[in-house]
A and B are shown apart, each in its own frame.
Chain A
């Protein structure tokens, strides 16, 4: 014991870290910030270190070469003892990190923490969020599989829409004319050196400012932030009724961080690593690329934008979004912090959260994408063909073989791009169906060139049978009128 004390003294005489560390640990914080709401920032910081450690462990084996990356990931998954677990830890760690960073951001937004004098802390936080998302994207690229390959294609296509310099930026992004070895190498450099290095620097400054400026006090309705008085008020709050950060508030940080790491480990153990999916062979076109969870909302938004809006939206919306986030603490640096007095902030946060949730949910089952194998994989329900005439059955064959099923569901199975056709006969008359099949329109291709008239007749006859038992098929109102007027006319002429 005595020996250890001696060593400690020897080190401390040279390092002189005890003073600043004690200051940092024991600085007084407002008593009610010792709350479970204040644990997300430290958890994000802990996750950053988890990612660095697991990342270094993976880098011991991973080969950042387009020709070898995919097989080195498979070696990690299947041949190296517990390689799968380390990959899973890194993958789930990334999911948790994005989630915790977003929750942390929502919390400091709701608590008005970005107001004077913590504007710069927020600004650095916005950059840290962007870098976290950048790490998630570049990490997905390093998992060099089909999703990564075509994800890069989407990235290049979006970049190419930038006016004038778009083409040059695509070359810079890919490191050449196509997605290949040079692309993976530069994403490796970004993911392993550039972005994590900047993140460490930014995160350290972020924490430094939290220590120097003090943690944001619990917002109270009516306690207004004013530049002239805030610093004094905060000083009084912390020094008169504050408590030392360690251990009063810190124990919750420690327990929550531990719980988050444990949760990552449990998820990694139970759900296993992400991919890699199929090999990144551009000659395999039988693939349905999809981004990782946190980019699904963008995937959904890109499917729903009208074509004319797309380029302006893709290029302008992110700039505006980031500008709003960066400008927020300067626009609203004074005033109320409490969410009871900030209805607009509450509505904005709810709207963003709900939109994000809805878009992400939609992107998990992609109703806008054709089901590429529905035509050959999902049979027409037998009940629709029971007692059917040969012509109707032939129509069902046309329906399947012309891939209508890829976009139209029948019996609850099939694509969802077009309307479900189980009761189509009640909505469209025969003539309307023929016109729709031949000319297309409303997001449906025209089949006029590819369907000979007998096939159209068979197809529409089949579609005419698709209506609930007690609901008659739609008929053209004018036809009825013509018929009745003919009857009236003929009976009139008889008189």
Chain B
């Protein structure tokens, strides 16, 4: 190996060394920014996920009115205000449900949302059917599926009677992922089997 070549090699190594020092600082800078970003991401993600709560956290007992408002053997539309309302919700703070009084202290409270895709079902007392205007789902008076695309009967709310007032356990839009999975399909008699 000649002297020249050795010199050249040393020079190259020296250059490499100078460059990699700068690069090292840059890497350190990038890593530092990454750490800051990670630290900031945590509150941002928590902020974004704040609406995600357990189903129970979104539910409370809501009064639908005195039991006497619901005639025996009939199904009536009832409305209530969502317990988690915000001042700017406007009309959308309202929620609608159907109350069917089977006996003096026996009720069924159905969500208005079709079990298929959530459209509002309408009650037809003459034919004793709930019909959905969207995809043609139909349900019997007891909420059981009669025909059409729904896989199951109407969603029901838990209810109780306290001081002569009918109360339901509600606050969340019923979908197949919350209320639905706990209810058995078929003729639901008496108190709803829904516990969610």
Interface of A toward B, CB cutoff 8 Å? 65-68, 70, 149-150, 153-154, 156-162, 166-168, 170-172, 174-183, 279-283, 285-289, 299, 302-303, 305, 307-308, 310-311, 368-370, 372, 375, 401-404, 406-407, 417, 440, 443-447, 449-450
With an 8 A cutoff between CB atoms, is B151 at the interface? yes
How far is A250 from B5 in the complex, measured between Cα atoms in Å? 59
Tell me the B106-151 residues at the A interface (CB within 8 Å): 112-113, 116-122, 124, 126-129, 131-136, 138, 140-141, 146-151
With A171-B51, A307-B149, A446-B146 known as contacts, the answer to whether A154 contacts B175 (CB < 8 A) is: no
Please state if A403 and B146 are interface contacts (CB–CB under 8 Å).
no
How far is A159 from B87 in the complex, measured between Cα atoms in Å? 27
Please state if A176 and B51 are interface contacts (CB–CB under 8 Å).
yes
B79 to chain A, nearest CB (A): 5
Please state if B178 and A167 are interface contacts (CB–CB under 8 Å).
yes
CB-contact partner of A303 in B82, B127, B129, B135, under 8 A: B135
With A150-B118, A283-B96, A369-B134 known as contacts, the answer to whether A160 contacts B178 (CB < 8 A) is: yes
With an 8 A cutoff between CB atoms, is B55 at the interface? yes
Please state if B134 and A289 are interface contacts (CB–CB under 8 Å).
yes
Please state if B82 and A154 are interface contacts (CB–CB under 8 Å).
no
A408 to chain B, nearest CB (A): 12
Q: Which residues of B contact A303 (CB under 8 A)?
A: 134-136, 149
Tell me the B148-165 residues at the A interface (CB within 8 Å): 148-151
How far is A285 from B89 in the complex, measured between Cα atoms in Å? 18
Q: Which residues of A contact B136 (CB under 8 A)?
A: 303, 368-370, 407, 417
Interface of B toward A, CB cutoff 8 Å? 48-49, 51-53, 55, 58, 77, 79, 82, 84-96, 112-113, 116-122, 124, 126-129, 131-136, 138, 140-141, 146-151, 171-173, 175-178, 180
Q: Which residues of B contact A285 (CB under 8 A)?
A: 77, 96, 112, 120-122
With A303-B135, A369-B133, A444-B147 known as contacts, the answer to whether A153 contacts B118 (CB < 8 A) is: yes
B34 to chain A, nearest CB (A): 22
How far is A95 from B57 in the complex, measured between Cα atoms in Å? 41
Please state if A180 and B118 are interface contacts (CB–CB under 8 Å).
no
With A167-B177, A282-B94 known as contacts, the answer to whether A370 contacts B171 (CB < 8 A) is: no
Q: Which residue of B lies closest to A68 (CB)?
A: B90
CB-contact partner of A310 in B79, B93, B140, B151, under 8 A: B151
Q: Which residues of B contact A447 (CB under 8 A)?
A: 127
Q: Which residues of B contact A67 (CB under 8 A)?
A: 87-92
How far is A283 from B98 in the complex, measured between Cα atoms in Å? 11
Q: Which residues of B contact A445 (CB under 8 A)?
A: 127, 129, 138, 140, 146-147
How far is A181 from B86 in the complex, measured between Cα atoms in Å? 7
Please state if B85 and A180 are interface contacts (CB–CB under 8 Å).
yes
Please state if B113 and A171 are interface contacts (CB–CB under 8 Å).
no
With A172-B51, A180-B85, A181-B89 known as contacts, the answer to whether A450 contacts B128 (CB < 8 A) is: yes
Q: Which residue of A lies closest to B83 (CB)?
A: A177
Please state if B135 and A369 are interface contacts (CB–CB under 8 Å).
yes
B141 to chain A, nearest CB (A): 8
Instruction: Give me the 4 closest cross-chain CB pairs, A-B, nearest first.
Output: A67-B90, A160-B175, A445-B146, A153-B118
With A166-B177, A172-B52, A182-B51 known as contacts, the answer to whether A149 contacts B135 (CB < 8 A) is: no
Q: Which residues of A contact B180 (CB under 8 A)?
A: 160
A-B contact pairs, 16 of them (CB 8 A): A68-B90, A70-B90, A166-B175, A166-B177, A167-B55, A170-B173, A177-B82, A179-B173, A181-B89, A281-B91, A282-B91, A282-B92, A282-B96, A311-B176, A370-B133, A372-B122
Please state if B82 and A171 are interface contacts (CB–CB under 8 Å).
no
How far is A302 from B118 in the complex, measured between Cα atoms in Å? 13
Besides A179-B92, A183-B92, A305-B149, 11 new A-B residue pairs in contact (Cβ under 8 A), listed by A number: A67-B90, A67-B92, A157-B118, A171-B52, A177-B58, A177-B84, A178-B92, A181-B90, A282-B94, A287-B133, A289-B120
